[in-house]
Amino acid sequence: MIPKIDENIGILVYTTRYEGSSGIIKNRFEDFVVSEIISERVRISSSQNDGFAVYKLKKYGIDTTHALERIYRVHGARLKALGLKDASALTEQFVCSTGKNKILPDITDAKISLTLIGFVSKPLSAKDMIGNRFTIKVTGLSADISTFNEYDRILNFYGYQRFGSKRAVTHLVGKALVQRRFSDALSLALSFVSEYDDEKNTALRKIMSDSSKYAEALQQIPPGMDIEKILLQEMIAHQNPQKAFARLPLSMRRFYVDAYQSYLFNLTLSRAYQSGEELFEPQAGDVCYDKNSNLGRFEMDPNQKLAIPIIGYSYFKKTRFESILGRILENEEISAKDFYFKEMQELSSEGGFRSACIKCADFAACDDTIEFTLPRGSYATIVLREILKPKDPLLAGF
């Protein structure tokens, strides 16, 4: 049986026959260890003359964005991360300076440590991060995980974090924006309540559901609700939902639209699998990624991997998934051209492609520990859901 939260984010199927081990992840930060892998093409030098400083950031109990904000606030240096890591794990990642001048000393505090590892001639970018290595301890297992061997039969769904995890609302806000329902998008961002919310947050979101109480709500906003704070301030000042969203950081506005595209992608994968489409082996005429991540038609190359369209205003329609995508768009009451925003052109998205299945490397499962490596953009929780098959993924730590 597919959990409700999975259905809410477009994940409607399991693709492995393994019965499921149940269990809980992230009991402690050190139970979920993530280490970033960068491309071998990156040359890190010990010479400061090469310019931009590269650091290893280790952290737990704090997400990447807030960790970098803390470093800037205390030490006055802006650092750029290659990928975002959440707070509920012990993570190790590369961060890079944005200028050539200030070199930070090694930093250690309660939740983060920062160590200089060298210099590069140009700043690192997200493309330099090619994957992540995971080491995960699971507690409360009800079955032997060492027998799981279908790690090459897992679809490349977007994971729970993409949608807000316990408050899975980002794709709903994104859909409202795509449909130009700015008032509805505002209501969802401010007052959507999840069954996983605590009483305090539920009470605050009830206040935020009443526009006459925005000033009262603003006085109660806790530090973690940065988005809600900006929206409330703008609504109090201008009473214009569209302008309120325009005041959010561009990355956050794009994240809402990206989340909706991610939901549609998940739904496309689910519907394709349910209708019997072959998703693990490319077919004649399919669009595929080659071993260098270049897109092209299938050429009987065993290194090519099937790619599925991501809907946008000019997404590629000529695939065997066209009818599935068409039905999804019809049911969602949107069209591809809705992803072009005349009102906020910076939110426009032309669409693209994403691999249909996860390339899970170096997999090992023994006793209560699971290890594997995933390419950039794939989610460990999607691998874990096929192994644990939890009744409630979020209560299981996902």
Which residues make beta-bridge pairs with 374? 132
Rg of the chain (C-alpha set): 22
Highest mean pLDDT among 105-114, 116-125, 131-140, 216-225: 131-140
* pLDDT number for residue 50: 67
* pLDDT number for residue 41: 86
Cβ-contact 221, 229 below 8 angstroms: yes
- Distance (Å, whole) CA 43 – CA 144: 42
Handedness of CA 293, 298, 300, 305 (dihedral sign): positive
- Distance (Å, whole) CA 79 – CA 63: 14
Mean pLDDT value of segment 208-225 = 93
The domain covering 253-355 belongs, at the CATH homologous superfamily level, to TruD, catalytic domain (3.30.2350.20)
- Distance (Å, whole) CA 239 – CA 9: 31
Give tens-digit pLDDT for 167-215: 999 999 999 999 999 999 999 999 999 989 889 999 999 999 999 999 9
DSSP characters for 25-59?
A: S-SSGGGEEEEEEE-TT---BS-GGG-EEEEEEEE
- Distance (Å, whole) CA 354 – CA 15: 18
- Distance (Å, whole) CA 69 – CA 300: 48
Which residues make beta-bridge pairs with 119? 45, 53
* Average pLDDT score over the chain: 93
Exposed/middle/buried for residue 40 (C-beta within 10 Å: 0-12, 13-18, 19+): exposed
The values of phi and psi at residue 223, to 5°, are -55, -30
The values of phi and psi at residue 259, to 5°, are -65, -40
**Six token digits for residue 27:** 């009991």
Task: Provide the pLDDT confidence category of residue 40 given band limits of 50, 70 and 90.
Answer: confident
Per-residue pLDDT at 101 exceeds 80: no
Per-residue pLDDT at 49 exceeds 80: no
Give me the count of residues in the chain.
398
Task: Pick one of 1.10.1510, 3.30.70, 3.30.1360, 1.10.3470 as the CATH number of 181-250.
Answer: 1.10.1510
* pLDDT number for residue 109: 87
At residue 132, the 3 state secondary structure works out as strand
* pLDDT number for residue 181: 97
Task: Provide the pLDDT confidence category of residue 223 given band limits of 50, 70 and 90.
Answer: confident
Per-residue pLDDT at 28 exceeds 90: yes
Domain boundaries, the chain: 10-25+138-149+360-398, 37-130, 181-250, 253-355
Q: Do domains 37-130 and 253-355 have the same CATH topology?
A: no
The answer to pTM > 0.95 is: no
**Six token digits for residue 250:** 């561009």
Cβ-contact 124, 94 below 8 angstroms: yes
Give tens-digit pLDDT for 324-369: 999 999 999 999 999 999 988 999 999 999 999 999 999 999 999 9
Give tens-digit pLDDT for 116-162: 999 998 889 899 999 999 999 999 999 999 999 999 999 999 999 99
**Six token digits for residue 225:** 């609700």
**Six token digits for residue 152:** 């090459």
Task: Provide the pLDDT confidence category of residue 46 given band limits of 50, 70 and 90.
Answer: confident
- Distance (Å, whole) CA 307 – CA 354: 5
The values of phi and psi at residue 60, to 5°, are -155, 150
Q: Are strands 129-137 and 287-289 parallel, antiparallel or unpaired?
A: unpaired
Per-residue pLDDT at 47 exceeds 80: no
Per-residue pLDDT at 76 exceeds 90: no
- Distance (Å, whole) CA 277 – CA 214: 49
Fold observed for domain 37-130: Alpha-Beta Plaits (3.30.70)
- Distance (Å, whole) CA 326 – CA 324: 5
**pLDDT cut 70: percent of the chain above it:** 100
Give tens-digit pLDDT for 291-312: 888 999 999 999 999 999 999 9
* pLDDT number for residue 59: 96
Per-residue pLDDT at 376 exceeds 80: yes
**Six token digits for residue 37:** 């892998």
Chain CA centroid to CA 186, Å:
22
Which residue matches tokens 């290194």?
303
